[in-house]
Amino acid sequence: MSRPLTIAIASMLLLSSCSHDKVSPDEISSDLTSAVSLASEAQTFIDFVGQNRATDNYRKAHIRYLSEEAAKLATELHQAKTSSGPEDQLEECRKELDALVLELDRVAQDIDTPEALASHKQRLAVAQKALQQLRASL
């Protein structure tokens, strides 16, 4: 999925929701758990692609799916306000999810370039660790 398409989807989701739900630390933790899972799955998927075990259609569709799921999580957090706890903690979660979405978009752009996927895998590992640390701090 191209970055403009991801931005368009995220913008549509943002504009379609008029309410700004308050989220609890448990809900934020759940979203972060999902984001950690997406980062982990993307790393495993890169290995799968690197072993030439994925068809062309599957490579492109699955990474697009992972990117869209991460964008949904990011959009939810951008719309939310905290029910308790500091707003800066929620903002840090937003920032890390946005970084994950961006990296997944880059993987999607480079999915046919095996030599680029190794560096994407490393950046996804860094994003995953940051998301895990945020989740632990809640």
* Global confidence as pTM: 0.83
Higher-pLDDT residue of 17 and 25 is 25
CA 119/CA 16 separation, integer angstroms: 35
**Domains, the chain, with CATH or none:** 3-10+23-137 (1.20.1420)
Contacts for 135 with CB less than 8 Å, ≥ 6 apart: 29, 32, 33, 36
Residue 71 reports pLDDT greater than 70: yes
Q: What pLDDT was estimated at residue 15?
A: 43
Mean of per-residue pLDDT scores for the chain = 87
Higher-pLDDT residue of 4 and 68 is 68
- The stretch 74-79 carries a mean pLDDT of 93
**What band does 9 get if pLDDT is binned at 50, 70 and 90?**
low
Could you give the count of Cα atoms lying within 13 Å of 111 in the half-sphere of its Cβ? Answer: 23
Helix 87-109 / helix 56-79 crossing angle, nearest 10 deg? 160
Q: What is the DSSP letter of 22?
A: E
- Of all residues in the chain, the percent with pLDDT exceeding 90 is 68
CA 83 and chain centroid, separation: 23
43 beta partners: none
**What band does 85 get if pLDDT is binned at 50, 70 and 90?**
low
**What band does 20 get if pLDDT is binned at 50, 70 and 90?**
low
Q: What is the DSSP secondary-structure string of 51-107?
A: TT-S-HHHHHHHHHHHHHHHHHHHHHHHH-EESSS-HHHHHHHHHHHHHHHHHHHHH
CA 82/CA 132 separation, integer angstroms: 19
23 beta partners: 82
- The stretch 45-61 carries a mean pLDDT of 96
